[in-house]
């Protein structure tokens, strides 16, 4: 399993592309695409009220990649999280993970800010 995931990780890196891409779009309203630089990249929920319009998930995607996907659907921002990865068995504390930069999967939650009355 370790070898299989490592090889998949390597292939993804070498090809500079993503794998196991799976997206979900919520709701019936669709928005016009916007320039990628207009989409905020967040790593936590914003303080402003928002609506989730889509979820993106893939192996190997960067924050910039998720930003690009979000721009295509007209999102105001994308909340990016990297999950999974290798774990150093020498670690003894649950709160410490020296291998957070080996995340196997990238997820982006595309949002639209709600208009304040």
Partner 1 sequence: MKMIKALTLCLALAFLSGCASVDVTKTAKGFHKPTNPNDIEIFKTVPPRAYEELGDITVSGFPAGEVAKMHNAIRSKAAPLGANAVILTSEGLTPQWPYKRFAVGVAIAWKD
Strand partners, 54: 25, 110
Q: Does 107 bind partner 1 (CB under 8 A)?
A: yes
Residues sharing a CB contact under 8 Å with residue 7, sequence separation 6 or more, in sequence order: none
Q: How far is the CB of 44 from partner 1 (least distance, A)?
A: 7
Nearer Cβ to partner 1 (94/117) = 94
H-helix or E-strand spanning residue 63: helix 63-72
Q: How far is the CB of 102 from partner 1 (least distance, A)?
A: 7
d(CA 55, CA 105): 13
Query: Footprint of partner 1 on residues 15-74 (CB under 8 A)?
Result: 24, 26, 44-45, 52, 55, 57
Q: How many CB atoms lie within 10 A of CB 107?
A: 18
Query: Footprint of partner 1 on residues 82-101 (CB under 8 A)?
Result: 82-97, 99
Nearer Cβ to partner 1 (14/117) = 14
The 8-class DSSP code of residue 14 comes to H
Nearer Cβ to partner 1 (6/62) = 6
Q: Which of 18, 77, 75 is closest to 48 using CA atoms?
A: 77
Q: Please report, as ranges, the residues that interact with partner 1 according to CB under 8 A.
A: 1-3, 5-7, 9-10, 13-14, 24, 26, 44-45, 52, 55, 57, 79, 81-97, 99, 102, 104-105, 107, 109
């Amino acid at each position: 399993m370790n070898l299989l995931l490592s090889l998949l990780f390597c292939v993804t890196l070498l090809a500079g592309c993503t794998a196991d891409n799976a997206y979900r779009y919520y709701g019936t309203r669709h928005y016009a695409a916007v320039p990628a630089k207009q989409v905020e990249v967040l790593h936590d929920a914003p303080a402003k009220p928002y609506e989730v319009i889509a979820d993106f998930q893939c192996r190997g995607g960067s924050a910039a990649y998720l930003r690009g996907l979000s721009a295509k659907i007209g999102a105001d921002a994308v909340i990016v999280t990297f999950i999974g990865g290798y774990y150093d068995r020498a670690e003894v504390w649950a709160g410490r993970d020296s291998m957070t930069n080996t995340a196997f999967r990238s997820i982006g939650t595309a949002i639209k800010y709600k208009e304040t009355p």
